[in-house]
Amino acid sequence: HMAAVQLNSLRFENPKAPALVILHGLLGASRNWQTIGKALKDRFDIHILDLRNHGGSPHADTMRWSELTADLSAYLKANQLKDVTLMGHSLGGKIAMKFACDHAALVKKLIIVDIAAKSYPPYHDNEFRAMKRVPAGALENRREAEELLKPMIPDWGMRQFIMTNLVKGEFGLQWQCNLEVLHASLQVLRQNSLRDSDLYQGPTLLLTGGKSTFIKDGDVNAMREWLPSLKEVTLKKAGHNVHVDDRSGFLDTLNKWL
């Protein structure tokens, strides 16, 4: 069994409040959830984690579900966290569902943001190929990097999201995430993280974007096999990044449900 990785976290400390643990999606990082964390810090002790191979967390050679949940397990143990509200977006949502099924006693409430319990096409493959065209350390200038990405990533918003992974290294700009391993792991990460026998009966909220293609008809009912207490709320104006596209609607829904 591979050793767990010690995850980096962005903290908004509120020691007397219940813990809210947030997991970002593929190619994201804790910084994508900073605004949401700040908005909820009066009610919760906030832990926004960087998954392995993302953000400020260590790099590792593999991305198995058992490893991703073991990393989270180790973080909760190290920070003595119990009865957590666990929120995950996209890939983070797949990890959150799996973790809640495996460690139901630790998870008081589960929030899944715009992802279903099913197999997907290996999305972001195109973005990874574009990112690999930006040579590590060769560029000083973010604008040059953006020009290299533009032909393969014409969408401005997606380009800005991808470029949050570009950080100043010792010699110019470099990718902070573990590009090679993440790209090689797409086939694993596209699978459903849940097995037939998995079950989490605690309160579960699924927050979806009305303009997102990630949840199809029938997905939500299928998810109730594993998550019988699931309640779905759709924010009509939002795409896949529900928390960015409709922040006030997202926070509203969350506060009501919580």
Active site residue 170: no
Burial 148-184 (b: 16+ CB within 10 A, else e): ebeeebeeeebbebbbebbeeeeeebbbbbbbeebbe
The answer to whether residue 90 is catalytic is yes
Integer angstrom CA distances of residue 215 from 9, 99, 123, 245: 29, 21, 14, 16
Catalytic, 180? Answer yes
Report d(CA 102, CA 114) in Å as an integer: 21
Active-site entry in 24, 124, 240, 243:
240
Q: Using the structure block, give the residue that is written with the tokens 């400020």.
A: 56
CA–CA separation, 157 and 152 (whole Å)? 13
As a whole number of angstroms, the distance between CA 170 and CA 168 comes to: 7
Of these residues, 59, 73, 103, 180, which one is catalytic?
180
Phi first, then psi: what are they for 102, rounded to 5°? -80, -30
Query: CA-CA distance, 154 to 227, in Å (whole number)?
Result: 37
Select which of 90, 185, 193, 212 is catalytic. Answer: 90
Question: Which residues are marked as active site?
Answer: 90, 180, 240
